[in-house]
Chains A and B, each alone.
Chain A
């Protein structure tokens, strides 16, 4: 997208903004978010014997975190 403020390369102006890696980055954030916090939730589950509730909360939190990261890192800054 033309309005994207991707991290600018170290070269001068007129460089093509590197967009090709962004799809992978976004995908990684979304999956990693669920994975990391889901895992932490699962650990809490094992510890407190909450029977999966903590895992669920973790996955949802992780999704939210992943979305925030995508917006913050790849979206247009305010």
Chain B
């Protein structure tokens, strides 16, 4: 605690946490001011990719009829995404999207989970760039799937022209265009980003707030303690958000793919 208080005294972690706290120093080259090619965030993304590849390769290298623990875990994750997301949302045609959904789900879950892993404690998804790129991939996927299934003209007609009398179509088509092609990638990205950003901010406020209070006045120590207890409670809440956001992102992607594949009615 003393060490952390010293850090606070040196002004390295000023109390009201700001957006600056999300921009971590450069690792390679070490401590460089204007080169941010490799930071802790970058390292964590590669770590997540590495963990996922190694986990799935290792757990399925020698598949057994009676699964080992690792194989059981990998199979349950894949089975969950395939049955409860892909098939539930899209139907049997959804099975061919299941590998992508599983990858998406695992990657988002793991990178989100870094927000509460001791020592890492920040999620790459609290930078808008990562959710935005994931959203772009999903966006391209559902448009591509729709065009491949229906052909470009019919896909655009299906998604832009609702079943309605012609005289209200001018009112509806802009809304359809906006909600299908503009809002979707934006809301996917912002939902994930904002949740992870707010989660990290919340934990920062309660942790640093405890130090700020105890530094200001020793009599405030009980309140600081309460603040840290709250941090622990919020960490559990954060875990809920982490799992939920990974699920929501995948489910919404599946729902968009389903909408793109749906037949006219």
Smallest CB separation, A59 vs chain B (Å): 12
Interface size class of B (residues with CB under 8 A): 20 to 34
Smallest CB separation, A4 vs chain B (Å): 12
| CB nearest neighbor in A for B179 | A32
Stretch at the interface among B25-33, B37-45, B91-99, B111-119: B91-99
Scoring B residues 155 to 180 as 1 if CB is less than 8 Å from chain A, else 0, what string do you get? Answer: 00000001110001001101110110
Specify which of A12, A66, A72 lies most central, judged by the most chain B CB atoms within 10 Å of its CB. A72
Instruction: Give the A-B contact count at a CB cut-off of 8 A.
Output: 105
Task: Name A's interface SS.
Answer: helix
Once bound together, how far apart are the Cα atoms of A15 and B258, in whole Å? 13
- The reply on B70 being an interface residue by CB < 8 A is no
Which residues of chain A (30-73) have a CB below 8 Å from chain B? 32-33, 35-37, 40, 61-62, 64-66, 68-69, 72-73
Instruction: Write out the residue numbers on chain A whose beta carbons fall within 8 Å of the beta carbon of B187.
Output: 28
Interface size class of A (residues with CB under 8 A): 20 to 34
* Cβ-defined contact, B91 with A15, below 8 A: yes
Smallest CB separation, A30 vs chain B (Å): 9
Q: Which residues of B contact A (CB under 8 A)?
A: 87-94, 149, 162-164, 168, 171-172, 174-176, 178-179, 183-184, 187, 251-252, 254-256, 258-259, 261-263, 265
- Leading 4 A-B pairs by shortest Cβ distance: A21-B255, A9-B91, A7-B262, A11-B91
